[in-house]
């Protein structure tokens, strides 16, 4: 970071406008270092980023917090929380590396080759060849020792190591291509050692996956539970004063409400209390091949009319015009069996190349009543309206992304539209309730997995037996949850974030302090942040330098 630039931003702008300029500068500094030090599990990267965070933490502490405007105090707290969390993530990465290092003792010297190149150090072809050859020998010795060990490593660690090895090989290929053919001596020395190492590493990665992680099937779900201590840290970062066990209790309580409402809708359909039979009937109400895009268009237009006619939120004309639609590939549906949203809604529906059973499950899992409860989640007033607003109001706050804000907004709308009678037929009510029950199960199975209490297969069985998912769709949901691309609290954040936003909605709107439209517009125009901080902002509670989770937004018998 250029300290002079930071100081100039601090002292050459009015007091009430300092933080947006500083945050924009921080994003640029962080992005530059993140792109420069991109090698996987690089100690140099962790060291450099920690130094950056220390500089910015010191800069924040020097600022006169009490003299800042409320908006700047909020930004000060958001940046402080972000820096603390990034430090935690780097510490977790270091712990994960320490677990993997016995399986990858040859990796750091390879990572240093690319790091040296990024630092413009000259390469010596002969020395580079010797490092490649030494890495291959260490790799083969490690594989031999693992083959002889009775209990070589936890499957999750082996699977993580295999993925890290893939990234290291990609990095090494980039390093080699920079010199290969351009530097004759480098090419002469390294060509054979590089190819030998690459072949050995690819075979070793398959060995880690298949023999140690027991992931012989390419679609196997292994996952990497973080444990209770890290879950607590994640919840503290999100300013949620509940334990994982309390959140599971909340999900169970909400799930009981869903089951009562499912039975009520089931009786309306003539199925008595057998809500599963009613659900089966709903699943068979799907569009014929080729008909899904038309249905999605109609459902999107219906949701927009509904919120506009009731003056619930501002829908800019360009937002009504600007969304698009794409169809999801069969391969992608293995990890995303349902719709994805934003400016482009990506629609899950059977493709011609799917096996017959997969087609049937995709049809049933994306029926018209499930879709009616999904489209407004993905488009307007859901994720698309979010992304539209984020680009236009305080866009610098996108840095402070949290799934509790992102998914909490859309789940709040599911709750609010339910209360307003958006689902009029029992079939549509079952469609909405299926997803609500699904959110409850997400809390239970994702936290249960990270606590070490549930296996991925048990998570699949929960979704099939207790929610009513098609098995292929349940597999895709769990594969998506534990594939490594999602925040450990992401699946939990749908229901819990929704309960947070909905509690704040009741606090502000039911009291008459804001109208529906004022509340929803304010949430969008303030952009990303933990919901408790949004509550402090809207209720005009004073900000302090310390962030302490304290808002018990959902009463439990155990709450004190």
Question: Which of 73-77, 80-84, 196-200, 469-473 comes out lowest in average pLDDT?
Answer: 469-473
Closest CA to 160 of 226, 94, 222, 229: 222
Residue 558 in this model has a pLDDT that exceeds 70? no
pLDDT of residue 337: 66
pLDDT of residue 194: 98
**DSSP code for 340:** B
Q: Position of tokens 């962790």?
A: 46
For residues 364 and 345, what is the distance between their CA atoms, to the nearest angstrom? 19
pLDDT of residue 289: 81
**Beta partners for residue 347, in sequence order:** 327
Q: What is the mean pLDDT of the chain?
A: 91
Residues 6+ apart with CB under 8 A from 529: 74, 78, 397, 400, 402, 405
Question: Phi, psi at residue 77, to the nearest 5°?
Answer: -70, -40
Q: Position of tokens 């949620």?
A: 240
Closest CA to 315 of 376, 395, 370: 376
pLDDT of residue 239: 95
Residue 78, number of CB atoms within 10 A of its CB:
23
pLDDT of residue 14: 47
Closest CA to 446 of 159, 229, 231, 161: 231
Percent of the chain with pLDDT over 90: 76
pLDDT of residue 417: 97
* 447 touches 462 (CB < 8 A): no
Chain-centroid distance of CA 443 in Å reads 14
pLDDT digits (tens, 9 = 90+) for 91-122: 999 999 999 999 999 999 999 999 999 999 99
Residue 126 in this model has a pLDDT that exceeds 80? yes
Confidence of residue 131 (pLDDT cuts 50, 70, 90): very high
Q: Is 42 helix (H, G, I), strand (E, B) or coil?
A: coil
Question: Phi, psi at residue 340, to the nearest 5°?
Answer: -120, 155
Count Cβ neighbours within 10 Å for each residue of 379-415 and write b for 16 or more, e otherwise: bbbbbbbbbbbbeeebebbebbebbbbbbbbbbbbbb
For residues 15 and 297, what is the distance between their CA atoms, to the nearest angstrom? 47
For residues 222 and 209, what is the distance between their CA atoms, to the nearest angstrom? 10
* 50 touches 90 (CB < 8 A): yes
Helix axis angle for 403-419 and 383-390, nearest 10°, is 130
* 78 touches 400 (CB < 8 A): yes
* β pairing state of 324-327 and 344-347: parallel
For residues 39 and 177, what is the distance between their CA atoms, to the nearest angstrom? 16
Confidence of residue 11 (pLDDT cuts 50, 70, 90): very low
Overall size of the chain counted in residues: 560
pLDDT digits (tens, 9 = 90+) for 169-215: 999 999 999 999 999 999 999 999 999 999 999 999 999 999 999 88
Percent of the chain with pLDDT over 70: 94
pLDDT of residue 190: 97
Comparison of pLDDT for 364 and 520, the residue scoring more = 520
For residues 54 and 83, what is the distance between their CA atoms, to the nearest angstrom? 9
Comparison of pLDDT for 522 and 291, the residue scoring more = 522
Residue 560 in this model has a pLDDT that exceeds 50? no
For residues 284 and 370, what is the distance between their CA atoms, to the nearest angstrom? 11
Closest CA to 281 of 428, 85, 134: 428
Residues 6+ apart with CB under 8 A from 350: 289, 358, 359, 360, 362, 363
Which residue intervals of 366-466 are DSSP H helices?
368-378, 383-390, 403-419, 426-450, 456-462
Q: Dihedral of the CA atoms 521, 523, 526, 527 (nearest 10)?
A: -110
- Backbone CA torsion sign across 139, 141, 147, 150: negative
For residues 152 and 137, what is the distance between their CA atoms, to the nearest angstrom? 19
pLDDT digits (tens, 9 = 90+) for 511-557: 999 999 999 999 999 999 999 999 999 999 999 999 888 999 999 86
pLDDT of residue 557: 62
Count Cβ neighbours within 10 Å for each residue of 321-355 and write b for 16 or more, e otherwise: eebeeeebebeebbbbbbbebbebbbbbbbbeebe
Q: Position of tokens 């799907």?
A: 286
């Amino acid at each position: 970071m250029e300290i002079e630039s930071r100081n100039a931003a601090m002292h050459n702008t009015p007091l009430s406008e300092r933080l947006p300029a500083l945050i924009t500068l921080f994003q640029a500094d962080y992005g530059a270092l993140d792109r420069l030090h991109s090698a996987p599990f690089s100690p140099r990267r962790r060291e450099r980023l920690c130094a950056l965070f220390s500089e910015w933490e010191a800069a924040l502490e020097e600022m006169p917090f009490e003299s800042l405007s409320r908006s700047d105090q909020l930004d000060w707290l958001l940046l402080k929380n972000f820096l603390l969390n990034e430090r935690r993530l780097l510490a977790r990465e270091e712990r994960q590396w320490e677990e993997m290092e016995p399986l990858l003792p040859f990796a750091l010297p390879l990572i240093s080759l690319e790091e040296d190149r990024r630092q413009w150090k000259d390469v010596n072809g002969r020395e580079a060849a010797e490092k490649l050859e030494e890495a291959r020998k260490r790799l083969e010795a490690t594989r031999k020792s693992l083959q002889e060990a009775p209990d070589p490593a936890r499957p999750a660690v082996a699977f993580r190591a295999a993925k890290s090895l893939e990234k290291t090989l990609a990095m090494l290929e980039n390093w080699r291509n920079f010199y290969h053919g351009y530097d004759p001596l480098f090419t002469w020395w390294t060509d054979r050692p590089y190819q030998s190492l690459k072949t050995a590493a690819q075979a070793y990665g398959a060995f880690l996956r298949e023999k140690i992680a027991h992931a012989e099937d390419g679609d196997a779900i292994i996952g990497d539970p973080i444990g209770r201590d890290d879950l607590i840290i994640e919840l503290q970062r999100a300013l949620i004063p509940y334990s994982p066990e309390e959140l599971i209790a909340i999900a169970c309580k909400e799930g009981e409400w869903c089951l009562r409402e499912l039975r009520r809708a089931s009786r309306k359909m003539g199925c008595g209390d057998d809500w599963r039979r009613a659900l089966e009937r709903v699943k068979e109400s799907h569009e014929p091949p080729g008909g899904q895009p038309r249905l999605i268009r109609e459902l999107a237009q219906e949701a927009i009319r509904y919120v506009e006619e009731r003056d619930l939120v501002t829908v800019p004309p360009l937002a009504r015009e600007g969304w698009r639609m794409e169809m999801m590939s069969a391969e992608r549906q293995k990890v995303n069996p349902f719709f994805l949203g934003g400016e482009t809604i990506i629609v899950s529906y059977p493709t011609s190349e799917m096996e017959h059973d997969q087609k049937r499950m995709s049809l049933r899992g994306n029926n018209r009543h499930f879709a009616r409860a999904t489209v407004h989640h993905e488009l307007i007033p859901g994720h698309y309206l979010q992304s539209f607003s984020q680009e236009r109001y305080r866009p610098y706050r996108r840095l402070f992304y949290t799934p509790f804000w992102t998914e909490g907004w859309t789940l709040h709308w599911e709750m609010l539209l339910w209360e307003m009678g958006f689902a009029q037929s029992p079939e549509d009510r079952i469609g909405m309730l299926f997803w609500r029950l699904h959110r409850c199960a997400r809390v239970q199975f994702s936290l249960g997995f990270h606590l070490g209490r549930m296996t991925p297969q048990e998570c699949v069985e929960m979704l099939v037996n207790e929610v009513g998912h098609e098995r292929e769709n349940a597999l895709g949901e769990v594969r998506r949850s534990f594939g490594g691309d999602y925040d450990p609290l992401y699946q939990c954040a749908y229901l819990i974030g929704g309960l947070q936003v909905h509690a704040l909605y009741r606090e502000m709107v039911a009291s008459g302090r804001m109208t529906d439209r004022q509340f929803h517009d304010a949430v969008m125009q303030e952009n990303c942040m933990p919901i408790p901080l949004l509550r402090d902002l809207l209720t005009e509670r004073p900000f302090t330098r310390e962030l302490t989770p304290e808002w018990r937004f959902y009463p439990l018998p155990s709450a004190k």
